[in-house]
Amino acid sequence: MGSKTANRFRSALVQLRAGRVIADNLVSAEALIREAAKGGATYIQTPENTALMELEPELVRSQVQPEGESRPLAVFRALAGEFGIWLHIGSLGVKGGDGRIANRSYLLAPDGTIAARYDKLHMFDVDLPNGETYRESDNYTPGSKAVLARLTPGGVSARLGMTICYDLRFAALYRALAIAGANMIAIPAAFTKHTGEAHWHVLLRSRAIETGAYVFAATQGGLHENGRWTFGHSMIISPWGEILAEAGADPCVVFADIDLALVEEVRARIPALTHGRPFEIEIAAPADDAEKRQAS
């Protein structure tokens, strides 16, 4: 399988270990983005919570800004323009007019403009068996729209389905994005170490296989200043479910060359996206219950 170079471009994932000081996180992220751009990547993705890993609601609210005033966003827009790349910032906390905060992903165009925004749909509110508790809805309000973005990394026409972290567990979202035309799926994350060890690889590969699309998942990794562990293992996965690039637990950049012609080849082999059928769910009663109803 393969295609002419017209369908190919180089991609990169930036893996981070963000802390509680935005300025320090920006220095780390910028250095790795520059490394990725100098390595030839024309689509670069960073993790969820690129500029701040903080769990205390008041400390989050005191540091995030409205989109038009966001220092992190301004820094990243300048970087996209400097290198002429598609820079996908996995997410930033952004304060809305009502004071509530969105966990927002930004796709930045090569001229530094904002090409697309996506607010995380699903909130991670959970008590884990190891005693860790997460209440994402304490800090953020969920989005209400799925987003499909058009982009041209390396001059290649692509369509990117934008999601974030916990969205990964909602398979219907990914099928809908693929049917709408996505040939690339973004899943920037800050997956916990506990759940990542159990589910990260299998869920990411499943999303790629189910959609027949490339999956790009930049993530946080390691022990953070707030005392929480994230799993790392940023990955780029082919439409056939092959892992093309994978990080470990430490901050780094990983690269993979992408051939979008492979998407159509894989979908032609297994055209599951066109074979879906409407159905109803029948709840079958045990035979003895059915007999009792008939007798009455």
Answer yes or no: 120 catalytic: yes
Answer yes or no: 48 catalytic: yes
Closest CA to 133 of 55, 238, 246: 55
3-state secondary structure 199-217: HHHHHHHHHHHHHCCEEEE
103 in Cβ contact with 93 (< 8 Å): yes
Task: State the catalytic residue, choosing from 48, 54, 95, 136.
Answer: 48
Task: State the catalytic residue, choosing from 54, 136, 165, 193.
Answer: 165
- The CA distance from 249 to 219, in Å, is 9
Q: Which runs of consecutive H residues, i.e. helices, occur in 69-112?
A: 71-83
Answer yes or no: 165 catalytic: yes
- The CA distance from 149 to 162, in Å, is 7
76 Cα distance to chain centroid: 17
- The CA distance from 213 to 3, in Å, is 16
Task: State the catalytic residue, choosing from 54, 120, 136, 193.
Answer: 120
- The CA distance from 167 to 122, in Å, is 6
Active site residues: 48, 120, 165
